[in-house]
Structure 1
Amino acid sequence: MNNPHHLVTNTEDGRSSRWEAHRTRRRIALIKSARRAIHELGYGASMDEIATVAGTSKSVFYRYFGDKAGLQEAMGEVVIGQMQEKLVTAARTARTAREGLHAMVSAYLQMAETSPNVYTFVTRTDGLDALTNPTDAEASGTLSHFFASIREMMEAPMRTYLQNQPEAYLHTTIAYWPTAAIGQVRAAGELWLGTPEGPGKPGRENMAEHITRWLFAGISIDIPDTASGPHETTRQKDHQ
């Protein structure tokens, strides 16, 4: 004979599962709608404006995300997750460390250029920055995890690239260079995004090549990408 309590529990579990599935679908739909609204209106759009473009009410967004910061975090998980997938794919297809860096920079610029408003919305938290304030609780969520994963992606190819360098130099470079590189890519990329179109603004691939060269060879166009000059100076200092 069936246990009536068991039947009740199964029924409740089924309802709960259907409700969670409904909430998940609704949440995804709201994020997509909000993303379109931010793309159209700008990263400073209010919750009222976002709800209007999304064809719903502000209270619905508050019910699912709590507040604008909650919506920002939820959208960031989606957008930054997509950026990370693009960067991973770009890095995997590269044959050399430099080629991998160029591919990652190009993918980063492409994703940001696709919708500067959405990019700005998910990478800003009330003036805080997860890169320059990695220990701040408000700035160390999705974005800081994204930067941490990028640093890890950079570490392996850079170890291979610098494998013949002194251990002290290798250790210091691996400890600091990835974070410095991400900062330069962001700063240069965001300045590039904000520059009006014109003859003085390079295309995306040219900009990616410029940034890659700056990271690998410095600012002089006379130094080849495989130059050993800076490393020679470092080795001399390490052995003194």
Structure 2
Amino acid sequence: MNSTGLRPAPPEPDGRSRRWRAHRTARRVELVRLARRAVHRLGPEASMDEIAAAAGTSKSVFYRYFGDKAGLQQAVAERVLGRLQQELHEAAASAQSPLDGVHGMVRAYLGLAAASPNVYAFVTGGPTAGAHIHHFFSAVSTLMSEPMRRHLEGRRTAEDASPVLAFWSTAAIGLVRNAGEQWLATPDGPDKPDLEDFADLLTGWLLDGVMSPPGTRPSPTPPSTVEATSPTPKEHR
């Protein structure tokens, strides 16, 4: 305690400590970048020895910064998934309509996975992928529910649908992720749609159901049209 009765402030770290921390941070970022490049080329099952050799360093350097392969996998996942989450936010913010927002998110997810299927498999598979992947997809579910909620506003079903919207967004993520992974694993050929067509197809399934015409993105239906085409109580019977 000093004369004012307050504890003295802790001493400021010296310049050497700050520079060392900055160096370690920069080195860690660089190693993550090199590891992503190595996995992209070698595949998701690449060993730490192979990753280190491709990065031009030793395995002990990676262990020093990440602990083990699981630690490296999580560091790469945080980088890749952080980028994807940013792209999902941008897709939602730049969309001209709520439905375009859903389509933009689907396209961003598929696009990032297709850019490097090996890196995608590296960060979403394996025993260490559980915690950070679950947290990420929970955040994506929340993002996807917002454009759907706005799409439902003004419709007769909006009030009834709102409490169960969380089920839709969770199901949407499951559909996009599982269908996307099967699409990535499908060899190129006439029966495999390209990225744009597949994003349109999944968006149609999410919003109109599996019977929506392939290759066509659903368009907003004005509330007045919903009112005009909604069945009367007699038709329900």
Q: If the length of structure 2 is used for normalisation, what is the TM-score? A: 0.82
**What does residue 204 of structure 1 align with?**
195
Alignment correspondent of 1:107: 108
C-alpha distance in 1 between matches for 2:15 and 2:91: 42
SS in 1 for 2:131: coil
1:164-183 equivalences in 2 (<5 Å): 164=155, 165=157, 167-172=159-164, 174-183=165-174
Q: Distance in 2 between matches of 1:25 and 1:160?
A: 41
Partner of 1:84: helix, strand, or coil?
Answer: helix
AA paired with 2:119? V
Task: Give the letter for the 1:82 counterpart.
Answer: R
In 2, are the aligned partners of 1:34 and 1:54 still within 8 Å (CA)? yes
Alignment partner, residue 162 of structure 1:
152
Which of the residues 129, 136, 139 maps onto 1:146? 136
In structure 1, the partner of 2:5 is: none
The alpha-carbon deviation at position 166 of structure 1 amounts to 5.4
1:201 aligned counterpart, secondary structure: coil
Kept after mapping to 2: 8 A contact 1:76/1:123: yes
Equivalent pairs, count: 215
Taking only aligned residues, the RMSD between alpha carbons, in angstroms, comes to 2.7
Deviations 1:59-112 (A, max 9, x none): 110000000010011111111111111111111111222111111111111111
- Partner Cα separation in structure 2 for residue 41 and residue 220 of structure 1: 39
Residues 125-177 of structure 1, C-alpha deviations (whole Å, 9 max, x = no match): 32x76xxxxxxxxx122x223212212212222222223325343211x1211
Structure 2 CA distance for aligned equivalents of residues 225 and 92 of structure 1: 18
Taking only the aligned residue pairs, the percentage that are identical comes to 51
Q: In structure 1, how many angstroms separate the alpha carbons of the residues matched to 2:184 and 2:220?
A: 29
Change (3 A) 1:180 1:69: same
User: Does the CA contact (< 8 Å) of 1:39 and 1:118 recur in 2?
Assistant: yes
How do 1:1-240 and structure 2 match up within 5 A? 13-126=14-127, 139-141=130-132, 143-163=133-153, 164=155, 165=157, 167-172=159-164, 174-221=165-212
What amino acid is the match of 1:29?
Answer: E
Provide the TM-score with structure 1 as the length reference. Answer: 0.81
Which runs of 5 or more structure 1 residues have no equivalent in the other structure?
1-8, 130-138
SS of the residue 1:200 aligns to:
coil
CA separation of 1:200 and 1:40: change in aligned 2, threshold 3 A = same
